[in-house]
Chains A and B, each alone.
Chain A
Amino acid sequence: MTKKQTCIFLTVVAAVIAALIVGIVLTDGLYQKEGSIQDAMQDAVLHEGDKISLFGLPVNPGLISAFVVTGVILVFAAIVRIFVIPRFKFVPGKFQMLLEQAVGMFDGLAKSNSPHRNHFLGAYVFAAGAYIFVSTLFELVGVPAVSMAGQSVILPAPLSDINGAISLGCLSYLVILGGGIVSNGLRGVGRTLKEFSLPISMSFRMFGALLSGMLVTELVYYYLALSFVLPVIVGILFTVLHAVIQAYVLTMLTSLFYGEVSELHVKKPKRSRRARGKQEENNKSETEVTV
């Protein structure tokens, strides 16, 4: 490196450092909240202070997020159905391959985990996977809304609302129960009830995972010192990872338990006493020969 290049390099570094310091000074106090961190956390979990009016009904922002996400997904699906699917080719293009990959992945998941009965399960895990994935990524967009108190609220991920997580967890359990009943009747009910903790574990796993991401993000944004570079990692990376992991975990668990309870019961043939006696004699004689 020549002297001139070294000079240019040092000047650039100094300019960047100066700009950052100026930025830090200027932004001091910009992100300071009126309430304490405890209040912010409590609000993020319980949504007591940021209810939104849904036709006069006070609801959590997560429910509004859920409706928005559903609308977005359905509009996207309708556009794809009208403009893309009729032009599908046997040798797929990039977008067709992406769609086929998504459908094929959930269809394959359902088939591999529940070989006996999987048509409905495939559709369910596809919808659930798409919903969890998109609704988690929805957090990144940061759609603003006005709360009933007149404050601005950023719509969170629908599943970071405990009601959303409980509804999806319980619905998955009901789907598993339905699969068990259709395939095995009362035996299926018994098999499903055996896993009575499943709806709670599924609901709270999802709620906890998404909420933790949100809380970490809140925490990071709360303190000025953590507001550089780190939000990119925790905000985007956490969200993307959560989107993929949670979609996979819920669909995988649902498929797994669905397959377990819908597995057809095969009666073991009863052996007669004489046959059993003969078998025992054979075993004895084989043991004696070995000895």
Chain B
Amino acid sequence: MSDAWAVVAIVGIVTIAIKSLGPMLLGGRPLPTRVNAVVALLAPALLAALVAVNTLGGDRALVLDARLPGVLAAAVAIRLKAPVLIVVIVAALVTAGIRAVAG
């Protein structure tokens, strides 16, 4: 119990600090052009990494499972210009369907 509270307190404080760092120190001021060119690429780089890891990542391994066909189906929906809501639902349905069939 006390271990749990210690973890909750430390992780909470550190996470709040990490999240605050940029906005508190640099908030509201435009970044230098050079830095801005770098930061502008953060969204595509991190989003692509989040897609990759959430689709293929396991416990210290790359795994092929029902998530991949779900995300591929989502890619088709995106290609067809489906709204984000439909894209997300398609991914969940395909993945759930494959898991239901595969048991």
Are both chains from one complex? no
